[in-house]
Amino acid sequence: MRINHNMSAIRANMHLSISSDRLSKSSEKLASGYKINHAFDDPAGLAISNKMRLQIKSLKKATENTGNGISVMQIADGALEEVTSMIQRMNELSVKAANGTNSNNDRQNIQDEVSQLMSEIDRIAETTDYNTMKILNGDLDRRCITNTDGITMQNVGMGVEDGKYQIKIASGTDLNYLDKSNVSLVDTDATVSKFTDVTPKPVITVEGTNTNFKEESTTSETANDSDTSRTYEATGDRKFVKGRMLDDPRVVVTGKDGFSMEFRLDLDELYKKNKDNITFKYEYFDGTDTYTKTVVNGGTATYTDKAGNAINDADIKAKLDASEPASAKYTGADITVTGTVLDAGYATLQLGANTGEDMDVYIPKISTETLGIEDLDVTTENDATEAVRKVSTALANVSSFRSRLGAYQNRLESTLRNSNTTVENMTQSLSRVMDTDMAEEMTEYTQLQVLEQAGTSVLAEANQRPETILSILQS
């Protein structure tokens, strides 16, 4: 038995300190609900939980982004739904105007409504927005430019990579009767045109044709024309030559997996820039003879009748001068058009918590120009017939655009559901790492309380032992 060092009290105090410390930590876990409150509680667990918290918070914000993206698609589709209704109405009006029972005044009245509908389509394209951001005016589409005056690019599909693409319009082409056989892809040199790498090779079509009727003969004899792009049809005792007169044609290149691009030709601009390499011919029929005005490479005009004889009739010359060119034969070098697709302009939606978890959204410009109906005319029976074809094409394009929006929305809704599920599962995982098991911890807490009380009692008893030794010395 010793007085200087009360080992019993020292040992009791040590165990009491341990029990008190553990009880303090257990109490903190019960109060906070977390089993990791400090780095020393579980260093690895703390690092894992911090990464999980970051992912969960980021994913919650990403789900908001996804919801906003869905809202954009819904607003755009709602606007296009009304555009679809207006185009369908324009189709009804065109069919009505094409009927031979209408007078010129009737068709003009129909044209007035058609014009108003066209104006409204353009207004919707310029004013539809989300959070002050225009969504149908082309701002959310890819940027495309060409190096040739009079030819522009528009409606580039999602399957087109950024880079340069070239098409060639062959010399000898009649720009008024442009045919896909006159247009080719430049696909022999990858340094100048990415068509070299596109497989299978895209297909070229020429759209935007405008049927032009010209009275050719008052007999019912079969007519022949060396230009195979023209056909003849008889109406009663009169015969008309039906030409594929192009009204600012569109060269459309389509391939697989969403690859599509459109080159729009501005004939007036092409005529202006290439007048020294174009032979223009204008035709006028006065009921007896067909007269022709010819301008070769910007030179002096010559006026001839059907037999090739020169004419001097001022009235006929004036009518020829006021007419549209019946043909415009391009005689210069091949026109090579380089269309550059820039990787810019579209909207990128951040749909995940990490870099690269995003989605590019392309919403093309929806206007009468991009739909090919900016000059829709139903004031004559023939123009109304052509308007029916144009409106049908425009409706197909709008339907295609709406399908794209629908695909975007379906993908975004799937992404939203997946994100919500991921947040739920990741939160559950974080709970396993961080949250206190209250039942288990309460059992531990109760045990530690008993140990602390026992330690306190033992320490008090140990502190009484020196007094026992002192009583022995006194006796």
Phi, psi of 340 (to 5 degrees): -105, 120
Residue pair 100/86 in contact (Cβ under 8 Å)? The answer is no
Rounded CA separation 196/202 (Å): 10
pTM of the model: 0.68
Query: How many CB atoms sit inside 10 A of residue 420's CB?
Result: 14
SS3 243: strand
pLDDT of residue 78: 94
Rounding to the nearest 10 degrees, give the CA dihedral for residues 49, 54, 59, 64.
140
Question: What residue type is 223 in one-letter code?
Answer: A
Residues in the chain: 475
pLDDT of residue 310: 93
Rounded CA separation 130/72 (Å): 6
Rounded to the nearest 10 degrees, what angle do helices 381-434 and 104-127 cross at?
20
Range 170-175 contact pairs with CB under 8 angstroms and sequence separation of 24 or more: 170/334, 171/330, 171/331, 171/332, 171/333, 171/334, 172/329, 172/330, 172/331, 173/329, 173/330, 174/327, 174/328, 174/329, 174/330, 175/246, 175/265, 175/267, 175/270, 175/271, 175/278, 175/328, 175/330
Whether cis (ω within 30° of 0) applies to the bond prior to 200 is yes
The residue to which tokens 């994913």 are assigned: 59
Query: How many CB atoms sit inside 10 A of residue 415's CB?
Result: 21
Best CA proximity match to 77, nearest among 356, 337, 319, 409: 409
pLDDT tens, N- to C-terminus, the chain (475 residues)? 566 666 777 887 788 788 777 777 778 788 777 887 777 777 888 888 888 888 899 999 999 999 999 999 999 999 999 999 999 999 999 999 999 889 889 999 999 999 999 999 999 999 999 988 899 988 888 788 999 989 998 878 878 888 999 999 999 998 887 888 899 999 988 889 999 999 999 999 887 654 444 444 444 334 444 443 344 444 444 333 444 445 678 899 999 888 989 898 888 888 888 989 999 999 887 777 888 999 999 899 999 998 889 998 899 999 888 887 888 999 999 999 999 998 777 788 888 888 888 888 888 888 998 888 888 899 988 888 888 988 998 998 899 889 989 999 999 999 999 999 999 999 888 888 887 877 877 887 788 788 778 878 877 777 777 777 777 777 6
Q: How many separate helices (H) and strands (E) can be counted in the chain?
A: 9, 17
